[in-house]
Structure 1
């Protein structure tokens, strides 16, 4: 098991890990996704555990159900327990993003996972994340 600085949410019980520096927009993007029906797994710190061939994300006990919402404070929300990760999203500035990126992966706990890179502050970021998850799960396809 390891613990990382990140935020984890789930869409249809498919875990998504949001990574980025402090202030990168992890909690903000998570909040917008939760508003659209996603579930909180953990904010700020995420425990990663290997179970079989899956990496599970969970909240450390002191942080369970807590989400920092800037200008409102730390709020208590309902949270999902340990959930298998299906996607990792690195949050970055628009200048660092490619218009037509190649498929990327990242290895966590010895497991290779699909990786997306997004600007979390774009209005379309929640939609792009949802489409990226559908793409990585094989529910939609990219035309080459």
Structure 2
């Protein structure tokens, strides 16, 4: 079981790293590729719709991703055996990061396509919220209430 815990921890760290690398890649592409930057900057209607969608997405996804994981942890994961709990923990951790990635993608697209700072603010809010989800073996053990002494 120890090896499975370490494997899940490494996998979640890799997913978290990819989350940040994709966000950085979007910024690098936005800053270096001029062909799509500001493509819809003059279109007021599209800008308004994109800003509204971005704000609503950030307002919904950030609290839902954080609270949903806590709820699932308390009501679903705690009620199953340890191997199943580890599988569910890994799955819901990835779902949580995916929910946080949606406003990042839409926010940066809104920022670069419409040149709207509201998009980048929403993306930064989601990126900041992801700092509350940094994975690690100690965190996994704490959230699943696994004692190292009991396992040995």
Structure having the higher Rg? 2
Q: What is the TM-score normalised by the length of structure 1?
A: 0.25
Using CA pairs under 8 Å that are at least 6 residues apart, name the structure with larger relative contact order, 1 or 2. Answer: 2
Looking at secondary structure, tell me which structure has more helix per residue: 2
Looking at secondary structure, tell me which structure has more strand per residue: 1
